[in-house]
Amino acid sequence: MAQTNRTPVTEFFLLGLSDDPFNQKLLFILFLGVYLVTVLGNLLLISLVQVDSRLHTPMYFFLCNLSLADLCFSTNIVPQALIHLLSRKKSISFLRCAAQLLLFLVFGGTQCVLLAVMSYDRYAAICKPLHYSNVMTWRVCVHLATISWTTGILVSAVDSTFTLKLPYQGNNRIAHFFCEAPALLVLASSDTHTSEMAIFLVGVVILLIPVSLILISYGHIIVTVIRMKSAAGRLKAFSTCGSHLVVVILFYGSAIITYMTPKSSKEQEKLVSVFYAVVTPMLNPLIYSLRNKDVKGALRKVTTRNFPCNLGVYH
């Protein structure tokens, strides 16, 4: 029997999404465009909410938290992926890999809970409008946001501990474009059953429970919308709910496939992870907020203030 290499790993090599030079350049352009839209969209939303008092409502408070989580989530992953797409040596130190994993789980877990909180906020606003102001007080909003971020931290602490406590010796080639728990566990030099079960159970809490609450909330919302007398109101509500559910399905569906289903091919896992790690942080501000008339009005107000169209102001 060949002797196993027992040298502790000090750095990993990320194999990325493709080893073809042309595909790497194409992916660089695509990822760069998505990342720029993600940064600009989320920063724009946060800025508009801060400067326009009409947006100082619970819904936009939660959207600001989601935008902050999206921005940090994407920045933790995409810039490094862009650098590796253009470089020959696609290495990352063990400590940097651990930090990326930890932050990925913090911001990802926070997003999971925030999306559920936002669905409850919409349920209270649409299904219980007379009690909304009493239910969603600012104190409650702050508590819900705090719970969301705290849950993300706890999820990260558990998953990263069960992933990084394992010995990594010899094999250091990660079949992924960033450091993620399932891709790292494959390289561990000892039995990973306990770690896999711990990550699966955390996935039940952070993925299945929130998505179940979201589906229940939107189920009640749809029933309420159907009972509306206004056809235009029903169409608008269905359009909004439909776009929200698309984001939910993309984010939770791809995450559930990665963390809670029998292992598929490495190529499939990498492609699936693109949806929740790269695409969803771009879609959230576009679908949840920048399509809203209130946000559009705030944007026009800011634009008009900074770039007045009346040339008579310049004497």
Q: Which domains does the chain have, with CATH numbers?
A: 11-302 (1.20.1070.10)
pLDDT tens-digit profile of 126-140? 888 888 999 999 999
pLDDT at res. 315: 37
**Strands of 91-93's sheet, edge to edge?**
91-93, 11-14, 173-174
For 137, the token pair is 């007080």
**Which residue has tokens 């990084």?**
164
Q: Which of 211, 201, 42 is nearest to 112 (CA)?
A: 211
Q: What count of other Cβ atoms lies within 10 Å of the Cβ of residue 213?
A: 17
Contacts of 29 (CB under 8 A, 6+ apart): none
pLDDT at res. 307: 54
Element (H, E) at 102: helix 94-127
Q: Which residues of the chain have pLDDT under 70?
A: 1-5, 232-233, 236-240, 263-265, 290-291, 305-315
Q: Where are the beta strands (DSSP E) in the chain?
A: 11-14, 91-93, 173-174
pLDDT at res. 290: 63
pLDDT tens-digit profile of 213-253? 999 998 888 888 888 777 766 776 666 677 778 888 889 98
Contacts of 263 (CB under 8 A, 6+ apart): 182, 269
pLDDT at res. 248: 86
pLDDT at res. 160: 96
